Amino acid sequence: MRRTATLILSFVLITALGVGLVGCDESPTSVNDFDVQPSLSSPNSLSLVLTEGSADLSLSYQGLDGHPTVETTGSLQAESAEQSGSPQNGDQRWSLTYDGEVEGSVTEQAIVQGSAQGRTIADTVDVTVSPFLIQSEFSPTFASVADFEERTLTTSNGATAELDSSVVSENSAGVASLRIESPASGTATIERTTSVPNANRFSFLIRPDQSNEFTLTFSFTEETDGGTVTHDLDVSVPSGTEWSKYVIALDQISPDFNPVASRAGGNGALQSISMTSDSDVTYYVDEVGFANDSQMLAEVHDFDATTFEYSFGGVALDSSSDVPEGSDGATSRAVDGGGGGFGYNYNLLFADASPGDVLSFWVKSESEQTGYVFVETTDGNAGGYSFDNGRDITFPGGNEWTKIEIPVETLGDDPSALLDTGIQNVGFENESSLLIDQIRFEPGN
């Protein structure tokens, strides 16, 4: 059973919040009859991402002689932002910033100190400073069922790359990753036309080389008014065996990086992403894509594919270059004929969905029609996700692209099954011909 790891901030150096009875009263009648024991609580670690500017350090305390202070090491700086209550029962928030440059990541310390009853209470918070957001806790809140885009994977300078289902993050959306074995200067390239008009971040999952730290250079090639241009970005990767998610602001790649197709108001879509290592390493990547502050918007490659795209009842499937204005690619699926249906089998697809999250897709139909949409999970349609629990959906007419969003809780009984047991089929029935694009599970608005 797959479980999504939950970030838990552990608190350290917490003195028991006991109370001691003062005097000989057998029946205390006021708070003054108690002696509040000193205590101080703070997170044991924080991350400070340079592009986000600052990180908050929040403290709670009681029984102190005065409000606590914070000292920092290296180029880490702390400024008090908020203070409430009293030293006897108070809270304080500090804003941490970093006055320096970081190529990979560094760990500095914020040392919290307070005095109480003639002794010093101290706590140390480790602060990891990075140009990028590096997450060890993440989950597949976005899962692409089908986007109908062609992807080409090539290698050069001695590198090899192959899909691998044996080394996959337990918190990814699929069952395969890309294993890259590379000498120094070896390169793996993903070619995939990608337009992301609302993105401001690039992200990917990586499992490093077990023994060697290395620099991974990403090269982003995009169309421009005058042809193409390539932007390079170096990412320092430590050695290890754990998966991490890297999130990088697009303006860190280049202030001019704008992977948006002309139909969506840009000057050209992304054409390819190359990855080049500076030493002999073997590493794995997954879920390479673009996002905004709240969710993934387009996957350049997730190294998963449907095990079977099917149709029945006389329905035929073809490709079309007619796509929504905001589509992340250049191809949709033409569904010709009606009275039958089509769908996508997986083994398996995972979505960390909660009530309010949606199965979404874009559809275009000449005339209004009623479609039927269903999701099937494993283990005897776990969570109530079965063909019989699908929904009738109105596909608007008018030959205009319309985005349909179906709350996941209306297609089954328990959305947690989409993560715990996985999705094996997403299916549609249609009355007449239509176009469909960008079928995905994603957070609701």
Taking 70 as the threshold, does the pLDDT of residue 3 lie above it?
no
Specify whether the CB–CB gap between 284 and 244 falls below 8 A: no
More confidently predicted of 21 and 2: 2
Three-class DSSP category at 252:
helix
Quick one: DSSP state of residue 30? S
Mean predicted lDDT score pLDDT of the chain: 90
- pLDDT tens across 172-203, in order? 999 999 999 999 999 999 999 999 999 999 99
Q: How many CB atoms lie within 10 A of CB 394?
A: 12
Output the pLDDT for position 209: 97
16 pLDDT higher than 70: no
Residue 163, preceding bond cis, omega within 30 degrees?
A: no
pLDDT for residue 2 is more than 50: no
Q: Each residue of 102-122: pLDDT tens digit?
A: 877 788 999 999 999 888 988
Task: Provide, rounded to the nearest whole percent, the portion of the chain with pLDDT above 70.
Answer: 92
Is 376:423 a contact under the CB 8 Å cutoff? Answer: yes
Contact 125, 43 (CB under 8 A): yes
Amino acid at 418: L
Each residue of 131-180: pLDDT tens digit? 888 888 899 999 999 999 999 999 999 999 999 999 999 999 999 999 99
Rounded Cα–Cα distance for residues 59 and 46 (Å): 13
Q: CA of 213: how far to CAs of 104, 235, 287, in Å?
A: 11, 11, 21
pTM score: 0.79
Task: Give percent above pLDDT 90 in the chain.
Answer: 79
Q: Is the pLDDT of residue 28 over 60?
A: no
**Phi, psi (degrees; rounded to nearest 5) at 267:** -110, 10
Does position 269 have pLDDT exceeding 90, yes or no? yes
pLDDT of residue 35: 56
Residue 34 has pLDDT above 60, yes or no: no
pLDDT digits (tens, 9 = 90+) for 323-339: 999 999 999 999 999 99
Quote the pLDDT of residue 136: 86
Domains annotated for the chain, with CATH where assigned, are 19-131 (2.60.40.10), 135-301 (2.60.120.260), 308-442 (2.60.120.260)
Q: Give me the pLDDT at residue 12, please.
A: 28
Query: For residue 128, what are its two tokens?
Result: 């990891």
β strands within 34-137, DSSP E: 34-36, 39-41, 45-49, 55-62, 69-72, 76-86, 89-98, 106-116, 119-130, 133-135
For residue 1, which amino acid is it?
Answer: M
Burial 402-423 (b: 16+ CB within 10 A, else e): eebebebbebbeebbbbbbbbb
pLDDT value at residue 36: 62
